[in-house]
Structure 1
Amino acid sequence: MSALAGPAEAAVAAGSLDAAGDDGAGRQNLLLLVQLRWIAVVGQLVTVAGVSLGLGVSLPFGAMAGVLCGLVALNLGSLLRLSRPRPVAAPELALAMLLDVAALTLQLSLTGGATNPFAFLYLLQVTLGAVLLDGRAAWGLAAVTGLCFAGLTVLHRPLDLSGLADGSLPVLNIIGLLICFLLDAGLLVVFIGRINRNLRERDARLAALRQRAAEEDFIVRMGLLASGAAHELGTPLATLSVILGDWRRMPALAADPELMVELDAMEGEVRRCKAILTGILVSAGETRGESAAVTTLHTFLDDLVEDWRAARPSAHLVYENVVRDDLPIVSDTALKQAIVNVLDNAFEASPGWQRFEAVRNGGRLLLAVTDRGPGFAPDILDTIGKPYRSSKGREGGGLGLFLVANVVRKLGGRLAATNRLGGGAAVTLSLPLAALAVKEEEAHDDA
């Protein structure tokens, strides 16, 4: 009878994953390999003790202990490998599987060779190799195991079974085959289940990366379109400004106070449009910190609310800032526009009441905007932050929260939306304060 030598180690579950360029699953499965090898070492010790003490079979303890020490050394080397940031490559995992086959072969050669019922653990190695490796490597592993099994028919140390009772050998052989089958079946179910889980996680990460790349490409195209539109609209706005100035100087219009009030309002709206276009041009393609002023958190939020209220005098915004520390931050134009977008959505849904609250939770800043409107539809909540998902029914709607979600994500934060129990909706921006904090070089430049 043989000790368990390396069947669990064959569950190296990341060869095909790293071939696809994903290292997360490779490192997870290499760690799994280490854990399984420890199990294999313990299994060998238990088996050796049971066969030698329970059945009275003489085993070469020195040589078998040497193989165990080799497996322990391989585990320590794997842990050292995991401590390095370099990706785990598929050839490394294939080599680990070959070393497991070598360990199994050495233990079998010391305990009866091909006549040992645990020789069928080779099938576990081949099965896992077919799942984890590419075609050429899998066929190579199968060829190596076949050659090892063939070599065991010739090169092996016969077991001394003189201590066994007469007629007990066939029974023990059947028991060994049964244990080997249960090991094969159990290990395959457990390990391949974990491998499939890692594959699903890898696929989910790749899908998220592809989705993020598509969204960022969409944002780039939108930024180019907005920048181009801002440049194009600059000319007609300048023309309107000139015309309004000419009208103001016309005696017939200057003598009419009502018309002058309307001219003042029109000029104010033109200036506001120019300011909006200037903000678009500043924000388009701007990296964080460029042409951004150093301010404090309270000043940033207070000024934002003041400007928003001035532009929407009919709004009824309740503003509460309960952040105690007035931290120095960079006035990020994109973040400001993101908060304004959320406030605008609340104003459209609930013109009579809106609430904006700033709270600090550890190292994060929570910005919550609530309203008393109809709330979000269930399908909108499930896809919050996706483009063209809007409850307003307008063509091209749903881009506001999409852009907000991407701005927040760039800063390492999260966007959450819920419906309030008493009616209305709540949108919360959770931002790491470290992403807003002023870096030393920025503070120096501002000084």
Structure 2
Amino acid sequence: MSHPANALPGPPDREAEDAFGSSGRGYWVRLRTLVLLRWTAILGQAAAILVAWRYYAIDLDLALCLLVVGAAVAVNVAAEIAFPLNTRLSDRAAFLTLLFDTSQLALLLYLTGGLNNPFALLILAPATIAATALPARATVFLGTVTIALVTILAFVHQPLATRDGAAITVPAIFGFGYWLAIVIGVVFLGLYARRVASEIRMMSEALLATQMALAREQKLTDLGGVIAAAAHELGTPLATIKIASAELARELDDRPDLQDDARLIRDQADRCRDILRSMGRAGKEDLHLRSAPFSALVREAAEPHLGRGKVLHFDLGDEPGASDRQPQVLRKPEIVHGLRNLVQNAVDFARAEVWVDADWGERDLTVTISDDGRGYPTHLLGRIGEPFLPRRRDDSADRRPEYDGMGLGLFIAKTLLERTGARLSFANGSDPFLTEEERPARSGAVVTVSWPRGRIEVTDTGGLGENRPIVS
């Protein structure tokens, strides 16, 4: 089958939006941020008005201009009084705040010459902020309002003149150029800012999922250590209980009812011993095996998927007589979890068979995982390993609907393995245009993971860690 590139659930559906356009991404913008930005704008507006009126003798309706600036001051003061500044605004509240800023600046530009005012460019700011923080519908609406206001200002505004009556205008062609530049700026900066912010958010979500996966693997390792310690510490009291219960059973020959109870205690002690012995063995494997033969590490990663209805073929170079030349490698949770994700992906989308091969040379250690499925979608092959990949409508959703094709699983595997120094490459085993008869056995997805030997090879210690002197 076609690989959707992961098998893990993605983030909340970005298409499920309410009537306002919110997709569950709200409450990102702090009120304090917008308040500080508005105070900065207020200081700049007041300074520009006073300098133009006082030093350049521009004939302005000073009272109306300062009244418009005062409206922004009143809104800021009211916001600081009514709400804590660490309040995070909903999508609707952030949208209304930015809409007010756009309208206030447009009104101020109307009073100061419209697009003849060189500060008209600042009307781009609210629309750009909206593109980074608001849903698409709210961003488009605010951008449309901005373009509409700029268009109105191009034709309707108070003329700009000095107090001695000299008009301050720009040639019509320059006025059209200013209008066109602002319109293009709204569209371009909005799309650019939204694209960058979206990629940053997706990467943050994916890295969070990666950290959670690694933390889970580490917790399992720590849990194994606790189990091993418990098995060791409880061994002695359980042995004492068994000896004491056996002695009681022998001494209670004349009390069959009590003798049965003593034998039951002995049997249950034996059962506890067996359980702790098996748990302790697993715990020691998790806690103490700091390094292992390369083939053993690869087998451990693939082991949970051996009984899932697909045949796994191993070529790990661990045939008899070859183990003495196998490299010992660090048994890191990142390697185990990353390889396990890759094997899981291959098993999920193979028809019947999966191949796991390991090889090593003087410089590199390599693992190759391939299957007999349909391979990766060709239109996504260059983007495999990115989080939250888009999916075409004709992809494998109808064949395997529980996979949403977002790419998170392979991103997690790729991130964890690259953290250990690995290089990953993704390919398909055959040409998608071949017929079924012409396709080779390993016709599906192929993942190659390669490490420089020095990054994970262990040369100075055995598999059970370092021996330490006993300090009395």
TM-score (norm 2): 0.39
**Higher RCO (Cα < 8 Å, 6 or more apart):** 2
Counting helix residues as a fraction of each chain, which structure ranks higher? 1
